[in-house]
């Protein structure tokens, strides 16, 4: 085992014993990860956790997000700040529904368009 592999293994071992329990790690589906990444922009992890769980209870899929009235979205987002994140999330959900049949693209080229 070379130095890099030893370091990688040591890091993975440390993670197993020290990783924080975060709700988006339980089920790392693309939608859940996407929502968490947007919520975590400029917002502390501890602040996001309750919003994330509440948001996904009411908006469990991209279809639900695309169909959600903006006033309800803003109410769910209330307290997280940076409301443009929520508006852009909804716009992106509508694009995913229209252009990708409700599935988040997994290839880099599609994500950049």
Segments making up each domain of the chain, as ranges? 23-112
Cα–Cα distance for residue pair 75/102, rounded to 1 Å: 24
Rounded to two decimals, the pTM is 0.83
Q: At what angle do helices 83-100 and 30-40 cross, to 10 degrees?
A: 150
Catalytic residue among 37, 53, 58, 78: 37
pLDDT digits (tens, 9 = 90+) for 9-53: 999 999 999 999 888 888 889 999 999 999 999 999 999 999 999
Mark whether 53 is an active-site residue: no
Q: Does domain 23-112 have CATH number 1.10.340.30?
A: yes
């Amino acid at each position: 085992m070379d130095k890099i592999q030893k370091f990688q293994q040591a890091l993975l071992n440390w993670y197993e014993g020290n990783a924080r329990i975060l709700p988006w790690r339980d089920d790392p589906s693309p939608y859940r990860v996407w929502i968490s990444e947007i919520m975590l922009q400029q917002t502390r992890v501890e602040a996001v956790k309750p919003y994330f769980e509440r948001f996904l209870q009411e908006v469990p899929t991209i279809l639900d997000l695309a169909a959600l009235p903006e006033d309800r979205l803003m109410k769910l987002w209330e307290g997280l700040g940076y409301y443009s994140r929520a508006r852009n999330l909804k716009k992106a959900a509508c694009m995913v529904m229209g252009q990708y049949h409700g599935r988040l693209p997994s290839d880099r080229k599609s994500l950049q368009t």
